[in-house]
Structure 1
Amino acid sequence: MKKFIRENPEEFIAAILIVVTTSLVLLNVFFRYFLNSGIYWSEEVATTCFVWSVFVGAAGAYRNGAQLGIDLLVNKLPASASRAVKLIVQCILLLINAYVLYLSITYVQRTYTIATSVLAVSSAWVSSSLIVGFGLTTVYSLMHLVNMFRRTGKEA
C-alpha cells in the first residue's frame, strides 16, 4: 500500500476524494429519505471533492500514459516517423496544458472573491483544482518530453 501511495499519489488522492464524495451523497440520501432532513453542506462538499478528484486523477492518468489516444496510424509508421509524430504530439500537449494552466490561474484570480452558495467560502477552493491538475499535467508533459529525448539519444 505504501508503495502504491508513493508511486501513484494522484490516484490515491483521487480515490480518497471519490470515497468522500460517494459517502456524502449516500449519507445525504439516507438523511433525506429516512429522516426527512438533509445535510445542507453535503452537496457542495461532495461536488468540490468530485471536481478535485477529476483534475488530480486526470493528471495521474496522464503521468502514467493512460490518456485516450488512437495510435493505429502511428504504429503503422516506420520507427523514426513514429517517434517524430509522438514528439510532435507531446509538444502540442505541452503547449495546450501550459496554456490551460495559464487560463486556470487567470480564472482563479478573477473569481476568488466569489463565495460558494452554501458554505460561503472562496470559490478558489473549487477552481484551484484546475491549477493543480493542469500544473501537474504540464510538469508531466515536460517529463515525457525529456524521457523521449533520453530514449532517442540512447537509441542513436
Structure 2
Amino acid sequence: MKPLRKYSPEGTVASVFFIALFVVLMIQIFGRTPLFTGPVWTEEAARWLWVWMAMIGIAEVERTDSQLRMGFLVETLRRRARLAVFTAIDIVYLGIVLDLVWIGWKTIVRTWSNEAVTLPVSDAVLYASGFVAMILIANRIFRRIAGIGYRNDSAETEVAQ
C-alpha cells in the first residue's frame, strides 16, 4: 500500500471552493456597509460554494479514511478480522454511494432546465455537487476495498494521531 500523500485533488479543489466562498462572503459583508452596494447574487453563490466545498470535502475525508466510526468493539479483534469487518462495511457503503450516484444523475437531468434565482446557471450545477462527490467517494471506497487505497485500520495509528 502506498503511503498517504499530503495533498490530493479533492482537498485542493475543496480549498479553492473555500477561498472562493471567503471572497464572496467578504463581498456580501462589505456590501452591507456604506462602502458600496453589494450584488444580489452573493447570498446564493455563497450557499452553492458551501455545498460544493462540503461535498468535495467528504471525498477528501474518504481519501484519508478519517470519517467518524464506532470502533471500540471492532478494535478488540485481531487485524485480519478487523480488516474483514471494515471491508464488509465498505462494500455496503459502496452500494449506497453508487445508488446516490444514480439519484444524483436523475436529479441533474430533472433540474437541467431550471434556472437559478440570481445566478445565470442551471440549478443542475448545484445538484451536480452531490453527483461529482459520490463518484469521487465511490472511487476512494473501491480503491480501499481493492487494497490500493489508504485504510486506517489500526487502533495504534488512531491513538498516535
Question: Which TM-score band applies after superposition, normalised by the shorter structure?
Answer: 0.7 to 0.9
Q: Residue 53 of structure 2 aligns with which residue? A: 53
The amino acid that maps onto 1:98 is L
Deviates more, 1:64-73 or 1:36-45: 36-45
The amino acid that maps onto 2:130 is L
Query: How far is 1:116 from its partner?
Result: 0.3
Query: How far is 1:36 from its partner?
Result: 6.1
Return the alpha-carbon distance in structure 2 between the equivalents of residues 140 and 23 of structure 1. Answer: 30
Q: Residue 22 of structure 1 aligns with which residue? A: 22
Query: How far is 1:117 from its partner?
Result: 0.3
Deviates more, 1:134-143 or 1:39-48: 39-48
Return the alpha-carbon distance in structure 2 between the equivalents of residues 91 and 12 of structure 1. Answer: 27
Instruction: Report 1:43-122 matches (<5 A).
Output: 43-122=43-122
Query: How far is 1:120 from its partner?
Result: 3.6
The amino acid that maps onto 2:43 is E
Query: How far is 1:81 from its partner?
Result: 2.3
Structure 1 moving runs of 4+ over 3 Å: none
Return the alpha-carbon distance in structure 2 between the equivalents of residues 44 and 70 of structure 1. Answer: 36
Return the alpha-carbon distance in structure 2 between the equivalents of residues 58 and 39 of structure 1. Answer: 30
Q: Residue 12 of structure 2 aligns with which residue? A: 12
**Aligned Cα RMSD in Å?**
1.9
> SS state of the match for residue 73, structure 2?
helix
Return the alpha-carbon distance in structure 1 between the equivalents of residues 38 and 56 of structure 2. Answer: 29
The amino acid that maps onto 1:31 is G
Return the alpha-carbon distance in structure 1 between the equivalents of residues 16 and 36 of structure 2. Answer: 28
Are the counterparts in 1 of residues 107 and 124 from structure 2 also a CA contact under 8 Å?
no
Give ranges in structure 1 of 5+ residues lacking alignment: 152-156
Return the alpha-carbon distance in structure 2 between the equivalents of residues 79 and 36 of structure 1. Answer: 61
* Identity fraction in percent: 25
Q: TM-score normalized by structure 1?
A: 0.85
Per-residue CA deviations over 1:3-52 (Å, capped at 9, x if unaligned) read 85xx4111111111111112211221112122362211112222221111
Higher helix share: 1
> SS state of the match for residue 31, structure 2?
helix
The amino acid that maps onto 2:74 is V
Are the counterparts in 1 of residues 91 and 145 from structure 2 also a CA contact under 8 Å?
yes
Give ranges in structure 2 of 5+ residues lacking alignment: 152-161
Return the alpha-carbon distance in structure 1 between the equivalents of residues 12 and 87 of structure 2. Answer: 29
The structure with higher relative contact order (CA 8 Å, sep 6+) is 2
- Count of residue pairs the alignment pairs up: 145
